[in-house]
A and B are shown apart, each in its own frame.
Chain A
Amino acid sequence: MQHDDIAKKYPRLMENVLLILHELQKNNPQNYLAGKDLIWAADYLNVTYSQIYGLATYYTLFSLKPRGRHIIRVCRSPVCQMIGAGRIFEQIKRILNVNFGETTSDGLFTLESTECIGQCDRAPCLSVDDSIYGGVRPSGIEDILKIYKKNNEEHKP
Chain B
Amino acid sequence: MIAECRIATKNVGLINPESIDDYLASGGYEALKKALQQTPEEAVFAIAKSGLRGRGGAGFSSGMKIKFTGEATCQLLECMRFIVCNADEGEPGTFKDRIIMEGNPHLYIEGMIIAAYAVSAEKGYIYIRGEYTKSIEMTRLALVQARARGFLGSDILQSGYSLDIELRIGAGSYLCGEELTLLESLEGKRGYPRIKPPYPAEKGLFGLPTLINNVETLAHIPAIITHGVDWYTRLGSKESPGTKIFTLSGDVALPGYVEVEMGVTLRELIDQFGGGVSGGEKFKAALLGGAAGTFVPESYLDVRMDYDTLKAKDAVLGSGAVIVMAEDKSILDVLNSILRFFQHESCGKCVPCRVGTQQLLILLEQINAARRDKEKAFAEMLRQSEIMAKTSLCPLGQSPLLAVKSALTHFSHELYSEMR
Chain A contact residues, CB within 8 Å of chain B: 13-19, 21-22, 45, 54-55, 58-62, 76-79, 81-83, 114-123, 127, 130
Contact = CB atoms under 8 A, between A and B. Distances in A.
Contact of B92 (A14, A18, A120, A127): A120
Interface of B: 89-95, 98, 130-133, 168-174, 185-191, 247-251, 255-257, 287, 290-291, 321, 323, 325, 329, 333-334, 337-338, 341, 344-345, 347
Given A61-B172, A83-B250, A121 B256 contact: yes
Given A14-B187, A82-B333, A115-B345, A21 B171 contact: yes
Given A18-B168, A18-B171, A18-B188, A120 B334 contact: no
B350 to A, nearest CB: 15
Given A58-B347, A82-B323, 11 more contacts: A14-B189, A15-B188, A55-B190, A79-B249, A79-B323, A117-B131, A118-B94, A118-B98, A119-B95, A120-B247, A121-B95
A27 B257 CA distance: 36
B255 A121 contact: yes
Contacts of A14: 187-189
Among A17, A76, A116, A127, the one with the most B-chain Cβ atoms within 10 Å of its Cβ is A116
A149 to B, nearest CB: 22
A76 B339 CA distance: 12
A17 B323 contact: no
Contacts of A77: 92, 291, 337, 341
Contact of B188 (A16, A114, A115): A16
A62 B130 CA distance: 11
Contacts of A19: 168-169
Q: Could you tell me the dominant secondary structure of chain A's interface residues?
A: helix
B345 A22 contact: no
Given A15-B186, A82-B250, A118 B95 contact: yes
B172 A59 contact: yes
A62 B172 CA distance: 8
A45 B130 CA distance: 21
Nearest to B96: A118
Nearest to B257: A121
Contacts of A76: 337
Contacts of A16: 188
14 contacts: A13-B188, A15-B186, A17-B188, A55-B190, A59-B172, A79-B92, A82-B250, A82-B329, A83-B250, A118-B89, A120-B93, A121-B249, A123-B255, A130-B133
A78 B94 contact: no
A61 B136 CA distance: 15
Contacts of B91: 116
A78 B93 contact: yes
Contacts of B172: 59-62, 114-115
A116 B188 contact: no
B83 to A, nearest CB: 15
Among B168, B329, B334, B337, the one with the most A-chain Cβ atoms within 10 Å of its Cβ is B337
Contact of B173 (A59, A78, A121): A59
